[in-house]
Amino acid sequence: MSFVKMTTTALAMTAISTAAMARDNVQVAGSSTVLPYASIAAESFGENFDFPTPVIESGGSSAGLKRFCEGVGENTIDIANASRPIKPAEIATCAEAGVTNIIEVRLGYDGIVFASDINGASFAFTPQDWYLALAAELPQDGAMVPNQNASWVAVNGDFPDQPIQAFIPGTKHGTREVFEEQVILAGCEASGALAQIMEINGGDEDAAEATCMAIRTDGRSVDIDGDYTETLARIQADLNGIGVFGLAFYENNTDKLQVATMSGVAPSTDTIASGDYPVSRPLYFYIKADHIGVIPGVKEFAAFFVSNDMAGPDGPLAEYGLVSDPELSATQEAVMNETVMAD
């Protein structure tokens, strides 16, 4: 009977596949911000070396690190991309699963920019403007009152009378954390609101900072859980919208977006590298040292990724929007020596 034969074939097939499962390609997962850089490096690596092109998955920094910490072996990933440093809790999870030798590699910096539709009004922001526009509650006469600012002119007299409509990254994105800490919290401090909130709550600084970073939920600020392409679509549909983007995304869409300055500085790879542009963050990837020598090409790929040809100031990654790390040579040395993180 034909279906009996087919069933036998199917069983035989499953048996063959279980017999040997090894892989010869490097497997990477993690941050969607690092993904384009990793795929550019992987593509070049595959072209110029005898190793197969590494497979790069996205899914977010936390998801990537979670899979990184599942254990050591061929069915776990070799490298995790992250747009933030690994947390102590994650290192502990890793250690429990036997992943004790982790090499931390900082590949460069990423700028976070504020951009609106090219046909809309232009802005010159300070962190204080963003705090006053997006905070859930503002201190007023010794008490916290819900944020009533509906127009940018209410935030800053120099701004046009345009309704506040912001599209910011959702909480699952690493970018959100940077936005809250480097923009909202900084603005809270600069406007003197932090001191006022501490007066109100009796001097509890941690609680005051948390109050500062609470974002209003009345629709003036919209969380975007998808990618920057979604933010772009929302801004194109709403001329009043102002969105938070990565520098690389903006640089590839300069014909549709206009970027706002922050504290008087326009974002560019130069101003971010020099530290003049205030909102940026380091990008990392983490290597499982125990996979070096087991999975072919892990160390070679990592070394190539941070080489001057790739991550240097004139390399293709910088061309795409990565802010090159001034201390790149130290990073290269750490990869060469397989320097693992201290416990």
Per-residue contact string for residues 287-326; x = within reach of another protein by CB under 8 A: ----------------------x------x--xx------
Phi, psi of 113 (to 5 degrees): -120, 160
Question: Given candidates 130, 152, 159, 228, which one binds another protein under the rule CB under 8 A?
Answer: 228
248 contacts another protein (rule: CB under 8 A): yes
Question: Given candidates 85, 98, 104, 118, which one binds another protein under the rule CB under 8 A?
Answer: 118
The C-alpha atoms of residue 49 and residue 301 are separated, in whole angstroms, by: 9
171 contacts another protein (rule: CB under 8 A): no
User: Most distant CA pair in the chain: distance in Å?
Assistant: 86
Phi, psi of 95 (to 5 degrees): -60, -40
Q: How far is the CB of 228 from another protein (least distance, A)?
A: 7
The C-alpha atoms of residue 69 and residue 288 are separated, in whole angstroms, by: 9
259 contacts another protein (rule: CB under 8 A): no
Nearer Cβ to another protein (199/309) = 309
The C-alpha atoms of residue 175 and residue 31 are separated, in whole angstroms, by: 10
Q: How far is CA 343 from CA 72, 89, 90, 137, in A?
A: 18, 12, 12, 41
Question: Given candidates 140, 171, 217, 254, which one binds another protein under the rule CB under 8 A?
Answer: 254
6 contacts another protein (rule: CB under 8 A): yes
Question: In 205-337, where does DSSP find H-type helix?
Answer: 205-213, 228-237, 247-251, 269-274, 298-305, 308-311, 316-320, 328-336
Applying CB under 8 A, which residues contact another protein?
1, 3, 6-7, 9-10, 13, 16-25, 27, 29, 32, 35-36, 38-40, 42-44, 46-48, 50, 52-53, 55-59, 70, 73-75, 77, 118, 226-229, 248-249, 251-256, 309, 316, 319-320
